[in-house]
Amino acid sequence: VMIVGAGGHGLATAYYLAHEHGIRDIAVLERGWLAGGNMARNTTIIRSNYLLDESAALYGHALELWERWPAELDYDFLLSQRGVLNLVHTQQEIRDARRRVFANRLNGIDADYVEPDEIARLCPILDVSPDKRYPVLGATWQPRAGIAKHDHVAWALARRCSELGVDLVENCEVTELLADGDRVLGVRTSRGDIAAGRVGLAAAGRTSTLTEPLGLGLPLQSHPLQAMVSELLEQVHPCVVMSNHVHVYCSQAHKGELVLGAGIDSYNGYGQRGSVQVLERQLAAALELFPLFARAHVIRTWAGVVDVTPDASPIIGATPFDGLFLNCGWGTGGFKATPAVGRVFAHALATGRAHPLAEPYGLERFRTGALIDEHGAAAVAH
């Protein structure tokens, strides 16, 4: 089995192919260095408070696996379940948030609706005063949500893959998918051709560049998504805070950096850098919510390339090409899903069939219209 892309998804898929399906001839091909794409560029937010049943099942399973992984992979990647507040600032957002909390609870996901006094207790540095331009009127609260150290997660997976005999090949770009009619035969790479019976694409942001030469167009658009960090500070921020309305989110990393992000840059592009006005707007929004941040300095900004689908949900599963499988379209939210992606994508590659959790996420939904519209819960980053 050949996997294209050694980000979190490719590595997790290789891990489950070997660990759960006993497959040993697995290669993961990476154009750059291990986990140098979005895996190392994301802001590490893990949560499962999505609205729809299909999403709750998939992201809920991911969260359960995150809780198991430190012991299973024997690696402490600093999973910190410090909770996430999704703020609301208008009456309609209050209604939407309450609806989401009820839907979450029906799906067994820990969720509460909290008022400003409770928000102030959970996050004392957040300004909940009523005289703001957009006062904080309430929030959803998921206590089991949190953050983890993404580079450590990649190392944990890579180490275990290596122990299980997986070939991890860096500096090996797949330039073409090789096919005979509607059967995929392998890949052309910057280091030569490699035959493979099954090829799984886990090449976030760049999937269409590989499928389009085969005549397989995908409902994906690639955009830069930026983030930034401050210098190291004392621990001042106890949880994760997101606001779709003023459009910023923030947590504090284990070492002390404030980690901030916002929406995608609106234009399409493959550059791993973004434009300054997005950063300006998110800093303005951050200062409205956290006046204390006026004392902090930005020390680094960067971007990754994310691929966004029309319904803000991923595409997982088979293609019209025999032997070719897709995992793409995770947009701004695939880090939290990493363990579940590994499991369901490995299932597809090993058995040729969709895992029950992945069944609703097939490419055919863009023909049947059975979309999984998660724009609300995909949150601030869309």
SS3 state of residue 244: coil
Q: Is 41 in the site for ligand PYC (CB under 6 A)?
A: no
Residue (of 65, 1, 5, 84) closest to 39 by Cα position = 5
Residue (of 200, 192, 218, 197) closest to 318 by Cα position = 200
Q: Which is nearer to ligand PYC, 142 or 211 (CB)?
A: 142
Q: In the bound complex, what is the minimum distance in angstroms from residue 360's beta carbon to ligand PYC?
A: 19
Instruction: Determine the interface stretch with ligand PYC among 42-50, 196-204, 284-292, 316-324 (rule: CB under 6 A).
Output: 42-50
Contacting ligand PYC (CB under 6 A), which of 2, 45, 204, 341? Answer: 45
Contacting ligand FAD (CB under 6 A), which of 1, 2, 3, 9? Answer: 9
Helix axes 338-351, 8-19, angle to 10 degrees: 50
- Locate 65 and state its tokens: 């696996």
Element at 346 (helix H, strand E): helix 338-351
- Locate 17 and state its tokens: 């192919």
Q: In the bound complex, what is the minimum distance in angstroms from residue 317's beta carbon to ligand PYC?
A: 21
Q: Which is nearer to ligand FAD, 1 or 210 (CB)?
A: 210
Contact positions with ligand FAD (CB under 6 A) in 300-359: 304, 306, 330, 332-336
Contacting ligand FAD (CB under 6 A), which of 2, 6, 158, 315? Answer: 6
- 232-261 mask for ligand FAD (x: CB under 6 A)? -----------------------------x
Q: Is 332 in the site for ligand PYC (CB under 6 A)?
A: yes
Q: Is 146 in the site for ligand PYC (CB under 6 A)?
A: no
Contact positions with ligand PYC (CB under 6 A) in 244-283: 249, 261
- In what side-by-side order are the strands of the sheet with 324-328? 167-169, 27-29, 2-4, 199-201, 324-328, 315-318
CA angle, 111 as apex, 63 and 64 as ends, to 5°?
15
Q: Which is nearer to ligand FAD, 9 or 355 (CB)?
A: 9
Q: Is 55 in the site for ligand PYC (CB under 6 A)?
A: no
Q: Cβ(33)–Cβ(251) under 8 Å? A: no
Q: Which is nearer to ligand FAD, 128 or 259 (CB)?
A: 259
Of ligand FAD, ligand PYC, none, which one sits near residue 39, judging by CB under 5 to 8 A according to partner kind? Answer: ligand FAD
Q: In the bound complex, what is the minimum distance in angstroms from residue 332's beta carbon to ligand FAD?
A: 5
Q: Is 29 in the site for ligand FAD (CB under 6 A)?
A: yes
Cβ atoms within 10 Å of 265's Cβ, excluding its own? 19
Q: Cβ(213)–Cβ(97) under 8 Å? A: no
> How far apart are alpha carbons 179 and 127 in whole angstroms?
57
Of ligand PYC, ligand FAD, none, which one sits near residue 6, judging by CB under 5 to 8 A according to partner kind? Answer: ligand FAD
Q: Where are the beta strands (DSSP E) in 5-152?
A: 27-29, 45-46, 84-88, 112-114, 138-142, 146-147
| Alpha helix ranges (H) inside 214-314 | 276-289
Contacting ligand FAD (CB under 6 A), which of 26, 39, 218, 316? Answer: 39
Contacting ligand PYC (CB under 6 A), which of 9, 31, 47, 247? Answer: 47
> How far apart are alpha carbons 337 and 343 in whole angstroms?
10
Query: Side-chain half-sphere of 361: how many Cα atoms within 13 Å?
Result: 33
Pairing of β 298-308 and β 240-243? unpaired
Of ligand FAD, ligand PYC, none, which one sits near residue 379, judging by CB under 5 to 8 A according to partner kind? Answer: ligand PYC
Of ligand PYC, ligand FAD, none, which one sits near residue 314, judging by CB under 5 to 8 A according to partner kind? Answer: none
Residues at the site binding ligand PYC, with contacts judged by CB under 6 A: 43, 45, 47, 249, 261, 332-333, 379, 381
Residues at the site binding ligand FAD, with contacts judged by CB under 6 A: 4-10, 29-32, 35-39, 41-45, 173-174, 202-204, 206, 210, 225-227, 261, 304, 306, 330, 332-336
